[in-house]
Each structure stands twice: as C-alpha cells, then as structure tokens.
Amino acid sequence: MEVYPDFDAGEVARTVALAVSNLHTRSQSSDSGNDETPLVRNRGRPDMNINTEHEPDDRNNLVSGGRSGWSYYFQYIPKRYILTFLGFLGFCNVYALRVNLSVAIVAMINHTATFKNSSAVEYECTASDPDPGDLPKDGEFDWDSEVRAHILGSFFYGYLVTQIPGGRMAEMFGGKWLFGIGVLCTAVLTLLTPLAAKTGYGTLIALRVLEGLGEGVTFPAMHAMLGCWMPKLERSMLSTIIYSGAQIGTVFAMPISGLLCDSDFLGGWPSVFYIFGCLGCLWFIFWAFFITETPEKHPTISRAELMLIQAGRNEDSGSEKKKPIPWKAIFTSVSVWTLMVTHFGQNWGFYTFLTELPDYLGSVLLFPLKKNGFLSALPYLLQAIVSWTVSYVADLLRQRQYFTISTIRKIFNTIGFFGPALCLFGVMLAACNHVWSVTFLTLAMGFNGCTYSGYMVTHVDMSPDFAGTLMGMTNAFATLAGILAPLAVGSLTKDNPSLAQWRIVFGIAACVYFLTGSLFIVFGSAKLQKWGISKEESPKEATHEEKDSDVEEK
C-alpha cells in the first residue's frame, strides 16, 4: 500500500461528498445502480471506485429516499446552509431591532422646542430658508442631543454585561437556544418601546438596557456555533453571509422605519417597534424548529456533509465535553489583546455611523425623513455586497494557499479600516454638498465590508474550541465604543450641531480607524494558537492542526 505524504483529511471528505452526490444522481437514472465507472480521479493517484451499497439503516436516505412532499426536497439542502440562512435572518432581526430607534427618534422629538436656543435653526446647509415640508416633523418628546445620546447608548450598557458569559454558556451548553432566546427577548421588549417612551425617557433607557442584555449573547453564541458547524475552507464565506444580516437588516429597517414614521399607520413612529418586534418573534419559531446545537445532533444531516464539517475541525470540537478555558494563556496573548483593540476601533467607527448617521442627514444636511431612511440604509447595502464578494475571494486565496491565513486577514482588515478613514476625511471636505457627502459615507461602509474577512472571523481561526469566549471578550471591550461614541457625539453637538462640530466627530472616527488598523497589521495574528485547542487532543494532532491552519506560517 502506497502512502501519500500530502494526505489531507479535508480533501478526502470533499471527495467522499462528491462521490456520494454522484451516486445519488446515478441511482435516479439507472435501475441497477452498478455503474463501475470511476467517479473521481485524484491528482496522480490510483483510480478510486466507490462502493454503491448502502447500509439498510441509512438515516440520510441519500440513495433510496422514500420521502414525499416538501421534506423530500428539503433533505437535499445541506444543513449548514440552513443554519447560514436562518443565522443571516437572525442577524437581520438583531440589527433591525437595534437601529430602528435611530430613525424613529428623529420623528419622536419636538425639534422646535429642542433647538429653540440652538444655532441649528440657522440651517447651515441651505442657501435660503428650507421648505417646511423637508424639515423633520415635530414629535411629542422634548429631548436634547445629550438625552438622545444617553437613550441610544443605553442599549450597550446591557450589551456589555452578557458578552463573556454568553460566549462561555454557548461553549458549554450550545448556542442554539442562547442565540434564539436572546433575539426573542429583544423582540418582545421592542414591542413595549412605545409604552416605555411615553412613560418617560428613564423608563425607555431601562428598557434599552434590557434589550442589550438579550442581544449581548448573539455574537458569542453564533461564533461558538460557527466553530462546530463551518468547514474550515468555507469559514470566511458562510460566516460573512451570516453576519452580513446585520447590514441587510439595517438596509431594510432604516427606510421602512422612515416610511412608517412618516405615515399614520398605528400612530406613526410606534408602528416601527410593533412591526419589527413581531417579525423577531416569527423568526424564532423557524429557528427553534430547524436548527440543532451541533451537526452531530441533526437528525437528517448526510454523512458526506458531516464528514466535510468534521474534516477541518479537531475531534473534540462540538463534543459534549466541557473544556476548561486557558485564561492565563488568553490574557497574556498579544494576539488576543490586539484583536480586542481592533474590535474596539471597528465599533467606534461603525456605531458612529449606525446611531448618528440619521441624525446628521436629518438635522445638518436636512434630508426629509423618508429620504433620510433610504440614504441611511444605502451604505449598509454596499457593505453587505462588498463583504460577500470579499469573503469568496478570501476563501479562494486560502484554498489555493497563496498567502498565510494571517496575511489574508490583515490584507482585508487593512482595506476595511483605512478605506473608511479616508472616506471620512472626504465627508469633512464635502461639507454641505449632498451628493459627495452621501457618496463618501456610502463608500466608507463599502470598504468596511472587508472587515468580515479580516478581524471578524479571526477568533475562530485562533481557537475553534473557545471562539465564543474570545468573541465575548473582544466584543465586550469593543462595546465600550458603542457607549462612548454616542456620548462623544452628543457632547460635541449638544449646543452647536454645526458642520464644524460634526467634522470633529468624523475626524475622531477616522483617527481611531487608522490607529487600530495599524496595530492589527503589526501585532495581529490569525494563526491557530497553542492554547486554542482542547487539552484532550494529542500533541501530534495539535501540531497538524496548527500547521494546516496557517499554511506553514512562520
């Protein structure tokens, strides 16, 4: 028996998956099913004939399925793709529930009363008095920019608390119910937002804190599920699709929120919270029914898909064992601290856009509310498109081993940080030019889409077993940016929401992008860490995984 030194378990799993798929096709077109034609020829290796006999208790029914109706077709959809699709819709809901207040609050406040002593009434970006129909309609709440900043930032107080506990709970007990219940709780609380707002802004702040507690577990829980479900060479693409739900959710939430606020449906702005809250509850039903904690627990997953998932994963990942966390190694790792600072920089810029862009477009550039919602969503649409395209390129580069995985992550993270920084300087120069302002803001978020193949998936590269905990740690630290960025904007624009003050806001975000992006270039790493695999794994397996993880990175 000849032994091939370049044996690759992942390649074997993909070959088997292809062979089983071909067998299924042949079984439908041939009565005998005994075609002896070789199915696969591996490069320079002996021809491989696949045995067409299947076990009588084949639970996957790949060849002689007897199912009927929708379930017959459903069995041919890879289960990791179902997780990807529902995870994508889950994050659509997560961000729709998070950002709808950013648009609705423009319609909720009484602009005349709020800015009666402010220079904002001079309407700096108009050559003459603006059309009254283009100005934001007066709402019922007299909240100045500082109060609004506290309301928008309060979400992150709760969001910060559940990051690390959420990651560890997902690793120990599974991410399915943690992720699902986190979204469900946020949806239910969103339904109560109009009542809380009318009670008082203190009650609204408390409600937003509770929403943050629910959503705080979502990213760590999903990262833990990615470590169990995603084949190594599909990791960039599938994780990007899931997390791009944040952008698509924003794309739909902002314009729809603007339209609802401008209408009389269910009282105008309250309808925003009623509709998105109900959609979140509906999504939970599908998530609970179709998703399992691990691929091993899925009742209808094919053996070929299961082998493909397990091939690039160490044998203890997704097991029932509760692995101890190497806290000392993690907290003394330069790569982990670099990842935390990088995540903070991303969140500072991202949340400056997410929470303050509608306010900038409405109160400074004076876009009408309907147009405000659509224009606020446009940057996130481009971000999603860029992230999908870049993730495919990243996986292709990794499959063909053109660069080490650390190099791939640094290339795309650099584009995702430096690109928005340059565009923000463009926004500062554009001033009141509506076309160029929107163009630069849109391009900034488009470039930022590259980060999903940069730092965002590095947690899983560094440690598939503890990806949830790592994500919880970095996201907890980065959530401070979600608290501080709105407060900084509110402080800078409270008494003088002028272009000069907004230039300071954008300048700070650009500098943060440059500094943290540079740190990731110098100190960042996506290499599988020695502490990143469970201690039960043998040294030989660990060495093989570490080498394979980074294409012999030096």
pLDDT digits (tens, 9 = 90+) for 280-308: 999 999 999 999 988 888 888 888 888 88
Region of 291 (left: φ > 0; alpha: ψ -120 to 50; beta: rest) is beta
526, 454 Cβ separation under 8 angstroms: no
* Residue 543 pLDDT greater than 80, yes or no: no
Mean pLDDT of the residues in the chain: 78
Same domain, 299 and 357: no
* Residue 524 pLDDT greater than 50, yes or no: yes
Same domain, 341 and 453: yes
- Of 189, 162, 199, the closest CA to residue 98 belongs to 189
Same domain, 211 and 247: yes
Same domain, 219 and 187: yes
- CA 38 to CA 509: how far, in whole Å? 59
* Residue 48 pLDDT greater than 80, yes or no: no
Q: How confident is residue 191, by pLDDT bands cut at 50, 70 and 90?
A: very high
Same domain, 349 and 272: no
Same domain, 302 and 342: no
In a domain, 512, yes or no: yes
Half-sphere exposure of 413 (CA within 13 A, CB side): 32
Mean pLDDT of 358-386: 77
Same domain, 277 and 344: no
Tell me the β-bridge partners of 40: 48
Assigned token pair, 199: 């009670």
Same domain, 226 and 248: yes
In a domain, 128, yes or no: no
Asked which of 253, 283, 315 is the last residue of a domain, the reply is: 315
Asked which of 251, 286, 315 is the last residue of a domain, the reply is: 315
Question: How far is CA 9 from each of CA 43, 100, 300, rounded to the nearest angstrom?
Answer: 15, 46, 23
Question: How far is CA 368 from each of CA 45, 144, 255, 262, 375, rounded to the nearest angstrom?
Answer: 66, 20, 12, 10, 10
In a domain, 180, yes or no: yes
In a domain, 354, yes or no: yes
Task: Give the three-state DSSP class for 59.
Answer: coil
Residue 435 domain boundaries = 329-530
In a domain, 372, yes or no: yes
Structurally, the chain folds into a number of domains equal to 2
* Residue 103 pLDDT greater than 70, yes or no: yes
- CA 231 to CA 211: how far, in whole Å? 32
Same domain, 87 and 142: yes
Q: Which of 358-362, 441-445, 485-489, 511-515 has the highest mean pLDDT?
A: 511-515
Same domain, 388 and 463: yes
Q: In this predicted model, which residue has the larger pLDDT, 322 or 223?
A: 223
pLDDT digits (tens, 9 = 90+) for 10-24: 454 455 455 444 444
Assigned token pair, 428: 């500062």
For residue 523, what pLDDT is reported? 94
Rg (CA), the chain: 25
In a domain, 25, yes or no: no
Mean pLDDT of 93-99: 88
95, 253 Cβ separation under 8 angstroms: yes
Same domain, 442 and 518: yes
Q: In this predicted model, which residue has the larger pLDDT, 278 or 363?
A: 278
In a domain, 238, yes or no: yes
Mean pLDDT of 235-243: 86
Q: How confident is residue 56, by pLDDT bands cut at 50, 70 and 90?
A: very low
What CATH number is given to the structural domain containing 401? 1.20.1250.20
DSSP code per residue over 270-323 = HHHHHHHHHHHHHHHHHHHHH--SSGGG-TT--HHHHHHHHHTS-TTTTSS--P
